[in-house]
Amino acid sequence: MARIVIASEAGACYGVERALQMVERAADETAGPVHTLGPLIHNPRVVDGLAARGVTVVESPEEAAGGTLLLRTHGVTPDEEARAHELCSEVLDATCPFVKKVHLAARRLADEGYQVVVVGEKGHPEVEATLPHAPGAIVVGTVEEARALPGCKKLGVVVQTTQSRVRLSEVVGVLLSKAEEVRVMNTICEATSGHQGACAALAAKADVMVVIGGRISANTTRLAEISRELCPATHHIEGADELLPEWFDGADVIGITAGASTPAGQIEAVRGAIQQMLGA
């Protein structure tokens, strides 16, 4: 009989758990409409569940005028936050504390005269929320983009919280040749690093890996990439209904991990479904 092993670090991180507690409390206690500015977290199943409870997603504070608005875990721009406080009856800040650290680090580097580089994904909500804290900041997502940067006197680096240490190291290795002084603020989330390490350790000994989380989730996608390098039979799913029995034919060790936006209930649902497929 195959063994099902869940990674030692997997699933919802502190920032996500905090945000979910905030939105559930708001849904239970608020008489008027409750909204989130953008998806609260990058987990479509959770967002759909919140919608069923009357929590709607809006794209601007103007759409939530007069109601309760939660600022998403990935953060929002200072302008969006100011408009939210001006227009909404109540504003709840569900921004992950680790993301706030990125904002503070970027602002500090800019104030000290550094050309700020954000190592991350262009267009990602967290990155977009970080840029206004350091006017003129540049987003670098690859080594090639780092090589294309012009030289300058002082470079200051912050990192999208869900980036890998390997990517950061590769990009910084290039940036060191671009300035007389390079200051790196390693703002990768501790949970992200822990999830990635535990994923790699499990994938190295698993015959099949199942990675649970939103396909739009950067950290979950990265877990799938790390897993696939060590275990080619890696499957990225959003829920137990996507599992196929043939994935587990002949497997001795089935590994499960999950992104930082995946609640424990979703992990247990997947584990239970696999057990049923195995006839356990």
Q: Which residues are catalytic?
A: 126
Pairwise CA distance, residues 118 & 127, whole Å: 7
Sequence length of the chain is 280
Structure tokens at 42: 């990058």
Confirm if 255 and 203 have CB atoms less than 8 A apart. yes
Pairwise CA distance, residues 180 & 153, whole Å: 5
Pairwise CA distance, residues 262 & 220, whole Å: 9
Helix axes 14-29, 44-52, angle to 10 degrees: 10
**Stretch (H or E) spanning 155:** strand 152-159
Query: Cβ neighbours of residue 255 under 8 Å, at least 6 residues apart?
Result: 5, 6, 7, 202, 203, 205, 206, 208, 209, 210, 227, 231
Q: Taking Cα atoms as reference points, which of 216, 209, 212, 158 lies closest to residue 188?
A: 158
Pairwise CA distance, residues 221 & 225, whole Å: 6
Pairwise CA distance, residues 175 & 243, whole Å: 43
Structure tokens at 22: 């905030």
Pairwise CA distance, residues 176 & 91, whole Å: 41
Pairwise CA distance, residues 76 & 130, whole Å: 8
